Every structure is written in C-alpha cells, then in structure tokens.
Amino acid sequence: MSSAPPTKNRASRDWHLNPGFGFPPRTERLVALERTFFDVLVVGGGITGAAIARDAATRGLEVALVEREDWASGTSWRSTKLIHGGLRYLQTGNVKLVFESLSERSRLTRLAPHLVHPVEFLFPAYRRRGLPTWIVGLGLTVYDLLALGHSPCLHRRLSREELLRLEPALESPALTGGAAYSDARTDDARLTLENVLDAVSLGAVAVSRLEVRGLIHDASGAARGTEVLDRESGRGFPVRARAVVSATGPWADAVRLLDDPDTLPRLRLAKGIHVTVAAARLPVSRPIAFPASGGRLLFAIPEGPVTLLGTTDTDYAGSLDEVAAEAPEVAYLLKEANETFPAANLTESDVVATFASLRPLLREPGKRVEDTSREDAILVSPDGLLTVTGGKLTTHRRMAVRAMDRAARLLTTQGIAVSASRTESRKFPGAPATSLEESIASIIRIAASSTPQIDAGTADHLARRYGSRAVEVLELVAGNSALSRPLCAGLPDIEAEIVFAARREDARSLSDVLARRTHLFWQAPRQGGEALDRAAALMREELGWSEQRRESEIAAYRLETALSRRFRGGANPP
Ligand code: FAD
C-alpha cells in the first residue's frame, strides 16, 4: 500500500518542551501518530523497543513507539531484575557477552543510580554439589578482570563461618565456604519505563495499547510503516515511517509472519519462572547465587517484604499470552531452595506469587536450550523490516545502538542523515543530580518540611523508586494529604503513586499500577488484593472509567493473579 505521507512533524508538537518527564495526553499522541511521517517506527515497548526508541530520539530522529499492552508488559517486567555480567555465561564460555555486560553494568550504575544498585552477592560452595571453591574463585577472578576495574569491589573468599555470619539461613552440613562478589540489581519495569519517558522527552511519540496488525509497503515493496489497532477504541489506522524496527521479543516471529506469511520461524523460546516467598520464611540480607542440581545457577534475592527465587530455563511451545509457572517448575525451585536453605523448609503454601516469561533467543540447531546464546541479533527481512531479538536487560543500551546503526543505513539511502547515538553519557529521567545518598536525604528533608504525613521510611522508598522524580509524588500529597495513605498495611507504597502512575507514567490498567509501576502483584500478601478497590477507585477518578470498566478491570486483575497461582489450582495465597 502506498500514498502520500502525512507531513506534520515534531516542530509542530511542543510537548517535548514541557518541564519534567511524563506522557502527554493519549489523544494528542494518537493524533501525532496519525499525522506524522516518522523516520523510525519501533514496534514493541519492552526494554529492547524502549531503548531503541530512546537511542533513535537522541540522534534527532522522528520516532514512534507502539506497544500492544503496557510498557514492559511482556518479558521485561518478569526478569530476575539483575544488571549483571552473568556468571552463568562464563560457564558457557561467552566471554564477549560477559565483558559487554559488565561494562554496561558500570555505565548504568552511573546513568541510572536510582534504578541500578550495585550490591554484594554471596556464592556458597558445597561438598559434592555445584562447583568446587577453587573453580568458583577462579571464575570470580575472571569476572573481576573483565570488569576492568569498574567492579564496586573485588570478590573475596569466605570461610564457612564467615559466610554463615553474613547469612545464617545458609546453614547446611554440606556447606564448605564460598565467596562474595559484586553485581547489580534493578527494577526492570521502571528501567523500561524510564527509557520510554526519556524518548518522549526528546519528542518521540509513544503509545501503548496499539497493536501492529500488518505492514505497509511503498511502491517498491519496502516496509514503510504498519497498520495498528487501537485496543482501547477498536479503531485501526496506519502509522507511516521510513524504517520499521520490530522489537517484539517472544512475538517477533508472529510479526515477521505478518510481514511475510512464508517466512521461517527463527526464535527459540526459553521459559523462566520465578516465585516469591515472604522474607520472614526465607530471610536473606543480600542476593545469593546458589548452585542447583544439574549445574544451573539459581538466585535468592531480597526484595523488601519477599525473597525472590529464580529461575528456570526450559523450551516453551505454548500460548504466548498465557505463560504461567506450572506445579513441577515451582516444586523444582522450592526443592533447590530447600537444599540451600534447609531450615526454611519451604512448601507450596509459602509462595506469595509466581511470574513466568520467555527469553526470545535465536535458534541454534543442536544446542541445549541453556547453551543457546543470549546475545542479541538483528534480522533483516527482504522488505527492510528490522527485527531485533535476543539480548539481555543488562545490554539493552548497546543493543539499541547496534539496532539504530543498522537502521541508519536504511535511512541514509533515503536521504536522511543520522547522527551518532547520545546514550553513552545521557542520564535517565529520575537520575539525581547529586549522589543517590544525597538525593535520598534531600527527598526525606523535603517530605519532612512539605508533607509531614510522609514519614522518613516512605520518603526513602519514594526516593529509591522514582529518584529525583519523587518530588512530583510528594507534590501530589501536598495537594491532597489523603494520598499519603498506604495501599497495603506494612508496605511503603502509597495512594499517591497510583495517581502519579496514571497522570505521569501512562498507566491504564490495574495490572499496570499493581504489577509494574508498583510491585504489589509479587510483593504484597494476596498479591495486592487489599489495595484493589482503592487502586481501582483512584484509577477511575484519573482516567474517567465507567462503573462497568472499573468492574472489568478488577476482574482482569483477579484473572492475572489466578494465573500466577495456577500451579496450585488458583488457590489464594495465605
Ligand atoms: P519483551 O519485554 O517481551 O517486549 C516485547 C513487547 O512487544 C511486549 O511488550 C509485547 O506486548 C510487544 N508486542 C508484541 N507484539 C506486538 C504487536 N503486534 N504490536 C505491538 N506490540 C507488540 N536479563 C538481564 O539482563 N538480567 C536478568 O536478570 C534477566 N533475567 C531474566 C529472567 C528470565 C526468566 C527471562 C525470561 C529473561 C531474563 N533476562 C534477564 C533477559 C531479559 O529479561 C530479556 O532479554 C528482555 O526483557 C527482552 O525484552 P524485549 O523487549 O526484547 O521483549
């Protein structure tokens, strides 16, 4: 299909001049999407697509980003939430990936200190299980070397006694000692969202709940945009662009098939599940990388009120829209955790929540799933559609640079000059101007003087979650003190966060606010059931939901939590 492209461009939009970071009204974004002839249209708002849109926007290009659900709603909010070199990949000999990942780890701790936190990990070693201590030591030495001096601290060997002093829950007769090493943790959904927010601040038009249903071609057969369906209004319309990049993760083959029904599948989907258990049942003070039977490396990570356990790595061939942790997978994680933390004696009834997701890997015939490369790849279709797949959360920025360097070649042939990426030193939206510690102290001071309803603990929580943008959440409370109420007893999340998510962070459903803008889905007792009515009331007020919409939103959230508990027949957690 071809027709004269619309001509409206960024010069006639002024929202990128608005102060602060936030999304313009969806209606305005839809108008811009329809009227603009973009340089690049990115399909898929997971970490990969969000980073590509951000990269393209830093190059001064006209960028559109469309996502069929919510930002990060695919694999990108269901990772182990590590920004790491990946000790596992040293075992498989992928030194290049580890090197790049460690270099990105260092960069992200500087550019997004509120989202990427260096933290000490423990690595226990056992008699007749996992790797011997000397090999662990050797591997960690290589890890330190590959970090080229950017490791917050070098690894250190620990005796059995030293290890148990740090982490008594590791007490087990087979424990021989171990090591401590540095890596980093993140909030994957927020890392994705801040990529999108930054792209928007640079003029990109980013709209969620838009599903790509087909490709548009010019007279020569080159891909020049997509047909999208607005899943909120049911209306379809074209979005035109000089280059189309698909960053649709596990759905990448489906989008390639939309483009060319004869194309062969290229993906191998590797499923990984996580479970959370109450921190009181498995108390760990820092992340622990522990060996499972069969040589896999699993993690137990403290995440506020819960400990996160993960993950598995198995082939998957089921529905992409109903990926759930199954009973044998949950039993496997609990069994391995019980081997490592015998006193915990975890059972199914301890599970607060589960989540499952798919790694979009490129097929490598003859390889086991766990040996399949985690490096990113760019596939180029005959019509010029670029598909970016594979990769890691950790390497998202570098993947995006590579993808846009490739897209630049397509744009150059169309007379568009493309400058170099500017993400190498560009801070993320919530990155504080000072150190994270100073910024947290400053937010606590501001809260104490302007919103006395917010105690220091809550202010600290807001500062860590939103970075410098926490001030905007405090402003909401200053305008309406009722918004300082906690959403769930005993957790720091407050009502103002729901309003902020709807007003500034493009949240459009209960799952958006409870699973991705906050973490109640996997951190709160009953997966945030206690907060459901209040969150729905706040969203209704912000987004003008009808009573019917409010009810269907609550039902949809309940379905999602039931899927998370399907492994035990959907029964409520304790
Ligand atoms: P996705 O996040 O799935 O995004 C694709 C998006 O495309 C989705 O939001 C989807 O809705 C959208 N989409 C699909 N079809 C369409 C369409 N037709 N129109 C519009 N939009 C569409 N990496 C790390 O660095 N650290 C970790 O700790 C880590 N842990 C992991 C643990 C597990 C279990 C898994 C599975 C992966 C882990 N990874 C980790 C890898 C990392 O999470 C993934 O590589 C990354 O999230 C993939 O992001 P993506 O954007 O490519 O895919």
Which atom of ligand 1 is the closest one to the Cα of 271?
36
Residue nearest (by alpha carbon) to ligand 1 atom 4? 46
Secondary structure string (H, E, C) spanning 160-210: HHHHHHHCHHHCCCCEEEEEEEEEEEECHHHHHHHHHHHHHHCCCEEEECE
CA 148 to CA 338: how far, in whole Å?
A: 36
Residue with structure tokens 């087979």? 174
Residues of the chain with pLDDT under 70: 1-19, 570-574
Cα 46 to ligand 1 centre (Å): 5
Q: Is 94 left (phi over 0), alpha (psi -120 to 50) or beta?
A: beta
Distance CA 288, CA 422 (A): 35
Per-residue pLDDT, 20: 79
Residue 8, exposed/middle/buried by CB under 10 A (0-12, 13-18, 19+)? middle
Give the binding-site residues of ligand 1, using a 6 Å CB cut-off: 43-49, 66-69, 73-76, 79-82, 211-212, 247-251, 255, 272, 311, 357-360, 391-394
Identify the pLDDT of residue 143: 86
CA of 382 to the centre of ligand 1 (A): 25
pLDDT of residue 139: 86
Structure tokens at 50: 């969000």
The reported pLDDT for the residue numbered 447 is 95
CA 47 / ligand 1 centre spacing (Å): 6
Cα-based torsion angle of the residue sequence 192, 197, 200, 205 in order, rounded to the nearest 10 degrees: 50
**What pLDDT, on the 0 to 100 scale, is given for residue 295?**
80
Q: Report the half-sphere exposure of 257 (CA within 13 A, side-chain side).
A: 9
DSSP assignments along 39-53, one per residue: EEEEE--SHHHHHHH
User: Which of 77, 79, 378 gets mutated to test ligand 1 (max ligand atoms within 8 A of its CB)?
Assistant: 79
Instruction: Give residue 22 CA to ligand 1 midpoint distance, Å.
Output: 23
| Coil vs helix vs strand at 71 | coil
Q: Which residue out of 251, 319, 358, 508 has the highest number of ligand 1 atoms within 8 Å of its CB and is therefore the one to mutate?
A: 251
Give the atom of ligand 1 at the shortest distance from the alpha carbon of 356: 34
pTM for the complete prediction?
0.96
Tell me how far the alpha carbon of residue 540 lies from the centroid of ligand 1, in angstroms.
29
Sequence-separated (6 or more) residues with CB below 8 Å from residue 15: 24, 28, 200
